Structure 1
């Protein structure tokens, strides 16, 4: 019996040794295979480029758009405005602001000028053409086109943003915005309209589901507050498209600063004689939370007549932000389809278009940037006419509505504030035509 047990143990040990030897042989074979593959790649002859610059690109000074056609286009103001979304004078002013920061040093080859870089970028944003298309229009390499667009949008954000989108407003600024809302949209103590959009992008590399939204596409979130004149006052760009419910607004810089009371908003006061002291508020739709500084409509179907009137008056003021996004999609056709670029470049493109939009809107004395039929408007009989931008948005573009970006909980104080605004719109602040709506 002992002899059999010893024999069995010996066989087990032999089997274990043989298995270890086989495993070691397999590891050695894999290592040798990897080494052979590395040696093969190292010894592989690298194909040299036939040209330092492709022959077609050498003809840039003869046939490229900037050199061949732009001088003629500058003589026709209407076509120039259609091509760049701005007049010749505005183009030169913008070039004076960002041009010095776009200049490159002459090292090996003559660099592309700042004016040509700005021209290419503005046309890309305005036309929504692919970068490959811009390559053949301006006779510049594809990688160079991508770098130019990314760099130019970055510089526009860095040097134009402080002028048209300051990071901080003061009490007088907020009061001026409130006066505009009261004069234009009959909504007192309103300091802005807020909304958010998904900006559709191509599927990022190795991003997992971070950018995958409820519309079954990939996107980054653009959250914005605008004033009564369609100028963006605060933006938050780049949140993951998958975020929903309470995350988008609560975790945005705008939401955090509003919650912390760090926006220099004026203190509560009465906006009519003998009325209660009410805070200055932002207006939003049902996607946003009801806060002491943010008004949203009454929800539900069985609303009273007073609540329905409040909802109408609020939606009338809130349409400003919808129209602002509509202008953005109408004028800058890069938003007409998913943005084909990396996430970082897509964010810079959004930043660049926001800054240029604000800059043009602030200087839009003749209302050339925004045509009258582009916006929602009301007739003398207070009939609502839909703006042309709605057709663009409905036909499909890269700007998509966000879902709920907040929870439905609200404080009693916030509900009391909304009730006071509701009372005002149905009494002292009523207008003759609101009951017809």
Structure 2
């Protein structure tokens, strides 16, 4: 074979190889769970919650994650075993510290996942999985210590003692309240979550103690069930109340032998163990006193919801997750609310945050959370319906008590 023939053959083979390579299917580029942050080559620091925080500024840390660094470290210590993942041969796992920081950042700011991925260096699909998982872990780790529902008469009396000491309301097991939590409309849900205020929501019902802490939370009812009576009937709390399985103190163990009660607003039904205000059209002086004393004690529930929504800005925007994931997020916020009231009370809920009564000037001083009160949507007032005689008699007895032996010196002036 001549030299020119050999060259022509070599060129044809090379062209064939190039053609084969061009026709090969392109490999799909792998997506990363976590984008690598630019780090110095020497002594790189592990990724963590300080991505946007100046290490020397505690205030920046608190604004970034909604809690002090000490509270964050204590929380991480109990949650880490539940959220830590193992590295694989394919990739390194996202550290537990970064998972917790991303979740707290989501709760504290209400940012979308698309915005959050920039500051956390975590992809949107990973965040949509990490946040509900971490919220569930927070509830699992803290529920027994920070969301304790009384189970016997002695524990109920401890709750009632606080109400009498702080709010001069005896025999009270808690303030009952419910709010609408804004959500993005779930796919193919029709009007299932559409409430009386004109937006999609799920409902949070809670019992709050005298110290603004949640004793019981029930979340997930569809927003279309706007009336407090219908919502309450679907909760486990109501089932236990109706069947007398709450183990409440008996009349023999209460002050002035009055019924042991919970207190609520007009959205809830009157019950022998649930007090609500007298209707406006039926008021006289004695009933106005009862309404004032009841609303004064019940204000702890309004403040608990208000402080939580003020600190966790996720409640200021429709939560764009699936409903089952939203339930975990909301319960986690309630548990963190109790946790921070215990560990970081002076910064999480200073005195200026709560409603206060100026007894000398006979006026109410509204707390800072009321600046955002339009984000807290109450349940629809309950239409009047048949009430048992025991419930009516119980409310009249409390009105008699607050106008007699249970009166306080300033109540007439505050009307």
**TM-score normalised by length of structure 1:** 0.83
Deviation at 1:48, TM superposition (A): 5.3
Deviation at 1:301, TM superposition (A): 2.6
1:40-85 superposed Cα distances (whole Å, 9 cap, x missing partner): xxxxx9985334439x923365799945845964442222222222
Larger radius of gyration, structure 1 or 2? Answer: 1
Residues of 1 paired with 2:118 and 2:72: CA distance?
23
Residues of 1 paired with 2:233 and 2:246: CA distance?
15
Contact 2:53–2:61 (CA<8 Å) still a contact in 1? no
Classify 1:266/1:145 alpha carbon distance in 2 versus 1 (closer, same or farther; 3 Å): same
Deviation at 1:300, TM superposition (A): 2.8
Partner of 1:219: 201
Equivalent residue pairs, number = 385
Deviation at 1:332, TM superposition (A): 0.2
For the pair 1:261 / 2:241, whether they are aligned, the reply is no
Contact 1:288–1:296 (CA<8 Å) still a contact in 2? yes
1:97-122 superposed Cα distances (whole Å, 9 cap, x missing partner): 11111111111211010011001111
Partner of 1:285: 265
Residues of 2 paired with 1:47 and 1:237: CA distance?
48
Decide which moves more: 348-357 or 161-170.
161-170
1:323-375 superposed Cα distances (whole Å, 9 cap, x missing partner): 000011100000011111111121111011011111111234x5221022111
Partner of 1:53: 32
Give the alignment of 1:134-149 within 5 angstroms. 134-149=116-131
Give unpaired runs (5+ residues) of structure 1. Answer: 1-44
1:303-336 superposed Cα distances (whole Å, 9 cap, x missing partner): 1100011101100011110000001110000001
1:185-230 superposed Cα distances (whole Å, 9 cap, x missing partner): 1111111000101111000012222211111211111000000000
Classify 1:66/1:59 alpha carbon distance in 2 versus 1 (closer, same or farther; 3 Å): closer
Partner of 1:163: 145
Query: Following superposition, which runs of at least 4 residues in structure 1 exceed 4 angstroms of deviation?
Result: 45-48, 60-68
Residues of 2 paired with 1:65 and 1:110: CA distance?
12
Matched position secondary structure for 1:235? strand
Give the alignment of 1:357-372 within 5 angstroms. 357-364=337-344, 367-372=346-351
Residues of 2 paired with 1:183 and 1:132: CA distance?
48
Give the alignment of 1:80-91 within 5 angstroms. 80-91=61-72
Partner of 1:320: 300
Deviation at 1:162, TM superposition (A): 1.8
Residues of 1 paired with 2:111 and 2:45: CA distance?
16
Give unpaired runs (5+ residues) of structure 2. Answer: 1-23
For the pair 1:431 / 2:380, whether they are aligned, the reply is no
Partner of 1:98: 79
Contact 2:180–2:379 (CA<8 Å) still a contact in 1? yes
Residues of 1 paired with 2:123 and 2:253: CA distance?
61
Matched position secondary structure for 1:428? coil
Deviation at 1:166, TM superposition (A): 2.9
Partner of 2:21: none
- Counterpart among 220, 242, 253 of residue 224 in structure 2: 242
Matched position secondary structure for 2:346? coil
Partner of 1:376: 355
Partner of 1:338: 318
Residues of 2 paired with 1:167 and 1:296: CA distance?
22
Contact 1:191–1:227 (CA<8 Å) still a contact in 2? yes
Partner of 2:327: 347
